[in-house]
Amino acid sequence: MIRNMDDKDMDIIRRYFDYDLNESELETFQHRLENDASFSKEVDDYETAYNTVDEWILSNRKDISSGQQQRSNDKPTTSNPMKWMLLLLGIIAISSVAYFMFQGQGNTSDKELIFAEVQRYTDMMSDDLLRGDGATHVTDEEARLQEIIKAYNPDESNATLKALNEFISNSQNPNFKEIASWWIINIHLEKGKMTEAKDILKAISDSPEFNSSKKAKDFLKKLN
């Protein structure tokens, strides 16, 4: 007779497949997997049960994910085993669908992801440069740029664009000009003005005095 694992082990293994273990549990789990053949076999067997049950649920409820929820007063499906296994008609498909849905390749969400990356990059530059690595002295230019950025309101983006363009025209500091340019790119992207955003990315990528010229070139490539 094969020994079945206890509930505590089963709970840990189930949480492992749910991606739910904390760092210390994960470390212990890894150690047991590598050093305890019996535990490793239990994990494999549990994985089979976990996958079968999950795919059964996911394939049945896949219409939910596409928004085609059955009306609550519809008659329930019977528990006929034929229908049960229609459940598994979409079996392998369901995980793949969800996977590719969010893989971020080859669909319209790509651009949104790139926009978000641009936004994050701008935030990072703003954090590093505007705070001046903790310096207490703030120049007038720095203060002015902070003021423009803090006052940014998506509903009044034209005013911010105007202020940023004026700032760039008057500033002597390439670092601040660079940050201001990235903010302008962000605002254009938020407004859906792709051509304008690309023009500025091109200008940055062609400007050797900007530290971010390579990054701008990368984003430009992705957007094209």
Exactly one of 28, 31, 36, 92 binds another protein (CB under 8 A); that residue is 92
| 103 touches another protein (CB under 8 A) | yes
| Cβ distance to another protein smaller for residue 83 or 202 | 83
Q: By CB under 8 A, what part of segment 125-184 binds another protein?
A: none
Angle of CA points 192, 193, 197, to nearest 5°: 120
What's the first-to-final CA gap in the chain, in angstroms?
A: 63
In whole angstroms, the minimum distance from the beta carbon of 112 to another protein comes to 6
x-marked contacts with another protein along 34-63 as a string, rule CB under 8 A: --------x-xxxxxxxxxxxxxxx-xxxx
| Cβ distance to another protein smaller for residue 33 or 138 | 33
d(CA 32, CA 8): 14
d(CA 220, CA 197): 9
Helix axis angle for 23-35 and 7-17, nearest 10°, is 110
Can you say whether residue 3 is alpha, beta or left, with left for phi > 0 and alpha for psi between -120 and 50 degrees? beta
| Cβ distance to another protein smaller for residue 43 or 201 | 43
Exactly one of 89, 138, 143, 159 binds another protein (CB under 8 A); that residue is 89
Exactly one of 36, 123, 128, 166 binds another protein (CB under 8 A); that residue is 123
d(CA 222, CA 224): 5
